Structure 1
Amino acid sequence: MHGNRRQFLTYGGLALGSVLISRGIIAKSQAIANSAPTALNAPAPGETRLVVISDLNSAYGSTDYLSQVKRAIALIPDWQPDLVLCAGDMVAGQKSSLTPAQLTSMWQAFERYIAQPLRQANIPFAFTLGNHDASGSLRNGQYAFAADRQAASQYWRNPAHTPTLDFVDRRHFPFYYSFTQDNIFYSVWDASTARISPAQLAWIEASLASDQAQRSRLRFALGHLSLYPVASGSRSEPGNYLHDGDRLQALLEKYNVHTYISGHQHAYYPAHRGQLELLHTGALGDGPRSLVQGNLSPYRSLTMIDIPRGGTNLRYTTYNMDRLTVVDHGTLPGSLNTPRGYLQRRDLRAT
């Protein structure tokens, strides 16, 4: 299956045209087929390849995306991923003065610049909703940003926009759901706020305990807020990472989840703690941040994950999209002492 699809992307793409990056516009009638810059040549594909992006948005209400975001979307088809995962904040809501028309316009811009090009390239797309997409924060028992959640639901429940995924449970889509691909089980959470509701927590455990999840060769969980804060400044304050992180980690470990993938921190750090790997996806859009420790300057990034056949030793290739270079993991701190506990860089994990 992978070979046929990748051949289609390679040969079909060459026949269909190129990308107009200089104007920041991906022509609707053209496939994304330019070769990646030398610094971004992709490694040889494994059995399953994921591209993980996060935090694509700009200023509140924005209907455009930074050049780094557009460049990333233009380059992704050349890497021939089996799936693109987005860890949230695809649009720039969570502001009460935004009108329903403005919310709709933001999702139309997302469709134009992000979703449609990937769909035209025949690349499946899965996502978790971020606080700027559809915040689940409550005020007097009601959703504080109900209009945001309605706009997100209307966009994603439109049959023209619903991802072509092998859903296991989509009753609560687009807020939380599960699907499988290549015998990998994905549990997607509504982690747009710091608290996971009891109802959702029960759903998470039931889905991870299911026969289908446990028969899968790997299990991943995807949520916007992280279990641990890795970025400096306000991102390390309570409310910017999940409450009850130890309980959530224990739940993930109980059901042998390999990796929890998150966004929101706006700083890239691949970590592990206990038996769980943690991908803190860097921001691709506005506002990249420094890590809570170390002296690295902030940068925009995306991460490619190659999953070998029959193995669990994932290979990460992360790109600095400001400089168009591969991130040297040796330049990242070997460990972080976060306000919630100690994390070690994933490649230093004892085997």
Structure 2
Amino acid sequence: MPLKRRKFLTLASLTGLSVGALHRQTLSQTLSFQDHPDSPTEPTDAKPLLRWIAVGDVGTGEQSQYKVAQAMGRYRQTHPFDSVLLVGDNIYAGGEIDKIKQVFEEPYQDLLRQGVKFYAVLGNHDILSNQGEDQIRYAGFNMQGRYYTFSQGSVQFFALDTNSGHHQTEQLAWLEAALAESQADWKIVLGHHPIYASGLHSIRKHLLVQLGPLLGQHQPRTSLTDQLPPLFDKYNVQLYINGHEHHYERTLPIAGTTYLTCGIGGAQLRPTGKSSWTAFSSSQFGFAVGEVFSDQLVIKGIGVNGQPFDRGVVRRQTAAPVKA
């Protein structure tokens, strides 16, 4: 067994994580967990006021990305949408803008021809070339800067650069001011890195925080994502969407906010687990769909076969907070 994996499993056992579950996940990539079905009711409106797609970790140019892109195109034929939220790692492996044709313009050419707009945030791979500046300037990503906001109907989106050390203080100040000024019924924040997720990145971060001092390691510095939940609670952010973890996961409302991981757009899948706050998790290629109604936001996970594998509801009047 490689040293890194042996060390990871040892640390996992020390913290009470299910090593057996992790091993089973390694053997099978298509896994699903749903311990908390929320029995959503049908929306009171006949049609959604707005529909969008969210997907992350897409920019490989490989067959898996094309399959997801084609599934998005087929889905649009019966479920129209005009916006795609790209939650980072738009260009693998180093964010090189000269790859944009093979990892963006060609896979999504049908959607682009139909006028669908993509709104991107930067992932950790994207900043490896010129700190992501080339992507920020690329017209097809519709980025108004390293972080920005835009509105569609009753929804206001807030797009962040969650990479470590990237304008953290000024971003937080900007976000709080923008949230305070927002009159939108629905507030949705986009970022690449997860806040609540049950993938390997998140487990590793948790282990470093808990066991770092025992191993003589420095504690990881406070990240931007560590500081977001209090703002979400204060300003009634209903949904945070991220990638980075290569699986799909929807949480129960945590202090009024639902957290959606959808890094299933083309990069190699990774195992996923479940946590006490997990409503549903699965490791399969696909994308997330958001349908906005006057009183609720319906979230769906859609596989490359076009079939839904998850459905949950975020209510405008949020449910009672869940202790995380």
What TM-score, normalized by structure 1, do the two folds share? 0.63
CA deviation after TM superposition for structure 1 residue 256, in Å: 1.2
Q: Which letter maps to 1:46?
A: P
Of residues 207, 216, 240 in structure 2, which corresponds to 1:260?
Answer: 240
Answer whether contact 1:63 1:106 (CA < 8 A) is retained: no
Pair 109,284 (structure 1): closer, same or farther in 2 beyond 3 Å: same
Task: Provide the C-alpha distance between the structure 1 equivalents of 2:263 and 2:135, rounded to a whole number of angstroms.
Answer: 23
CA deviation after TM superposition for structure 1 residue 48, in Å: 1.0
- Matched residue, 1:81: 81
- Matched residue, 1:90: 90
Q: Which letter maps to 1:86?
A: L
Within 5 Å, which residues of 2 pair with 1:82-161? Answer: 82-94=82-94, 103-114=96-107, 116-134=109-127, 145-147=128-130, 149-156=132-139, 161=140
Within 5 Å, which residues of 2 pair with 1:183-262? Answer: 183-193=154-164, 197-210=168-181, 213=182, 215-231=183-199, 233-238=200-205, 243=223, 245=225, 247-262=227-242
Of residues 293, 301, 319 in structure 1, which corresponds to 2:274?
Answer: 293
Answer whether contact 1:94 1:148 (CA < 8 A) is retained: no
Task: Provide the C-alpha distance between the structure 1 equivalents of 2:225 and 2:177, rounded to a whole number of angstroms.
Answer: 19
- SS across alignment from 1:270: strand
Q: Give me the CA root mean square deviation.
A: 3.4
CA deviation after TM superposition for structure 1 residue 185, in Å: 1.1
Q: Which letter maps to 2:120?
A: F
Pair 245,153 (structure 1): closer, same or farther in 2 beyond 3 Å: closer
**Corresponding position: 1:307 with 2:292:** yes
- SS across alignment from 2:115: coil
CA deviation after TM superposition for structure 1 residue 66, in Å: 3.3
Answer whether contact 2:191 2:242 (CA < 8 A) is retained: yes
Pair 284,150 (structure 1): closer, same or farther in 2 beyond 3 Å: same
Answer whether contact 2:51 2:289 (CA < 8 A) is retained: yes
Answer whether contact 1:265 1:282 (CA < 8 A) is retained: yes
Q: Which letter maps to 1:81?
A: F
CA deviation after TM superposition for structure 1 residue 94, in Å: 3.2
Task: Provide the C-alpha distance between the structure 1 equivalents of 2:282 and 2:238, rounded to a whole number of angstroms.
Answer: 29
Answer whether contact 2:157 2:190 (CA < 8 A) is retained: yes
Within 5 Å, which residues of 2 pair with 1:307-326? Answer: 307-308=292-293, 310-311=294-295, 313-321=296-304, 323-326=305-308
CA deviation after TM superposition for structure 1 residue 243, in Å: 3.0
Task: Provide the C-alpha distance between the structure 2 equivalents of 1:148 and 1:114, rounded to a whole number of angstroms.
Answer: 24
Pair 279,162 (structure 1): closer, same or farther in 2 beyond 3 Å: closer
In the alignment, structure 2 segments of 5+ residues that lack a partner are 1-45, 209-219
Bigger mean CA deviation after superposition, 244-253 or 290-299? 290-299
Task: Provide the C-alpha distance between the structure 1 equivalents of 2:55 and 2:284, rounded to a whole number of angstroms.
Answer: 13
Deviations 1:231-268, CA, capped at 9 Å, x for gaps:
1x344222999836553101111111111111111121
CA deviation after TM superposition for structure 1 residue 146, in Å: 4.7
Identity between Structure 1 and Structure 2 (%):
23
CA deviation after TM superposition for structure 1 residue 87, in Å: 1.1
What TM-score, normalized by structure 2, do the two folds share? 0.68
Q: Which letter maps to 1:254?
A: K
Task: Provide the C-alpha distance between the structure 1 equivalents of 2:314 and 2:186, rounded to a whole number of angstroms.
Answer: 17
Bigger relative contact order, structure 1 or 2, given CA contacts below 8 A and separation 6+? 2
Q: How many residues align?
A: 255
Answer whether contact 1:107 1:152 (CA < 8 A) is retained: no
Task: Provide the C-alpha distance between the structure 1 equivalents of 2:240 and 2:198, rounded to a whole number of angstroms.
Answer: 14
